[in-house]
Structure 1
Amino acid sequence: MEKIKTFFAEGRDFSKNIGIELLEVHYGFAKAKLKIKEFHLNQAGVAHGGAIFTLADFAFAVASNSFGKVSLAINTSISFIHAGREGDELIAEAKLVDESNRLGTYEVIITNGEKKIAFFTGTVYKTKRDVLEEI
C-alpha cells in the first residue's frame, strides 16, 4: 500500500501542483486535503468548482487504483452543496460503493470540517495493467 501512496503522492500529477495532499490510502479508500488559497477562488470569491472537482477526482483516482490495477474514469458527476472559502481546509474521502470484474463505482464526500461542500460519484474501468509497473 505504501508504494501506491508514493505513486500518487510523488507523481507528476496536476493535483500536486495545485496543493492537494494525500493523507490516507487503504484498499478501496483514499483521503486527501486541499487548503483553499486565493488562487483557488473564482470571480465570485469562493472556491472554484474546478479546484473542488480536482480534489474529488484525485481521491477517486487513488481509491480506485489502490487495488493495484490501473483504473481509469469512464463517468463522473459532482454536486456542489456549499461554497468553499479561502482558508478552508477541504477534505475528500473516497470509498468503493460497488464493483464488478471490470467496473468500480465510488463516492467521494468533500467537507470543510463543519459541513459538506460537495458530493462526487464516479465509475472506473479496471484494466489488467499493474499500477506499480507505472512507477
Structure 2
Amino acid sequence: MNPQKLAEATAQTMYEADACSRALGLELKEVRPGYARMQMNVRDDFLNGHGICHGGLIFTLADSTFAFACNSYNINTVAAGCSIEFLRAVKGGDRLTAEATEQSLTGRTGIYDIRVTNRDEETVAMFRGKSSQIKGNLVATGS
C-alpha cells in the first residue's frame, strides 16, 4: 500500500472509532502522511458564558487534527504533550478549519503545528503537539 493510501486507510479506521469527534461534528477533510485538515461548525451549544466558542472545543478540534496527522503512518501514536495559544475570539455560527503539519519526526517522537482559522481565514489559535509512537498499528497491511 502506498503512503497516501495507508494514510487514508488509517484515518478512516480512526474516524470510525472516534465517537467524540463525530458527536461534535468534526469533519476530516484531508489526510496525507504527516498532514491532516479538519473542520468544525461552531454550534450554539459550543459557546461559553461570554458568548464565544469555548476554548476546550477549539483545543479538541486542534488535538483531533494532530492525532490524524501523527497517526498517518499507521503506527499507533499518542500525544506526549501539547500547548495552545488562543489568538482571536470565535463567534457562534463560524466554521473553523484546523491544519496539522509535521515539523519533525525523529525516531519515535514527532512535533506538529496546528493552525486553526475561522471562516475569514484569520488565525484564531495555534497548537503545538509532541507525539510519541507506541506499539501496534491501526490497520493491517498484510506485510
> Does TM, scored on the shorter chain, surpass 0.5?
yes
Match of 1:7, as an amino acid? Answer: T
Report the counterpart of residue 55 of structure 1 in structure 2: 61
Match of 1:118, as an amino acid? Answer: A
- SS of 2:119's equivalent in the other structure is coil
Correspondences of 1:73-88 after superposition (within 5 Å): 73-88=79-94
* Counterpart-to-counterpart distance in 2, 1:57 and 1:12: 12
CA pair 12-59 structure 1, distance change in 2 beyond 3 A: closer
Query: Is 1:126 aligned to 2:100, yes or no?
Result: no
Match of 2:129, as an amino acid? Answer: G
4+ runs deviating over 2 angstroms: none
Correspondences of 1:1-135 after superposition (within 5 Å): 1-114=7-120, 115-132=122-139
- SS of 1:3's equivalent in the other structure is helix
Structure 2 unpaired stretches of 5+: 1-6
Match of 1:29, as an amino acid? Answer: Y
Match of 1:31, as an amino acid? Answer: R
Q: How many residues are treated as equivalent by the alignment?
A: 133
RMSD: 1.1
CA shift for structure 1 position 104: 0.3
Task: Name which one, 1 or 2, has greater alpha-carbon Rg.
Answer: 2
* Counterpart-to-counterpart distance in 2, 1:72 and 1:116: 25
- Percent sequence identity is 35
* Counterpart-to-counterpart distance in 1, 2:111 and 2:101: 9
Structure 1 unpaired stretches of 5+: none
CA shift for structure 1 position 7: 1.4
Report the counterpart of residue 3 of structure 2 in structure 1: none
- SS of 1:62's equivalent in the other structure is helix
Match of 1:13, as an amino acid? Answer: A
TM-score (norm 2): 0.89
CA shift for structure 1 position 5: 2.4
TM-score (norm 1): 0.94
* More displaced stretch, 5-14 vs 26-35: 5-14
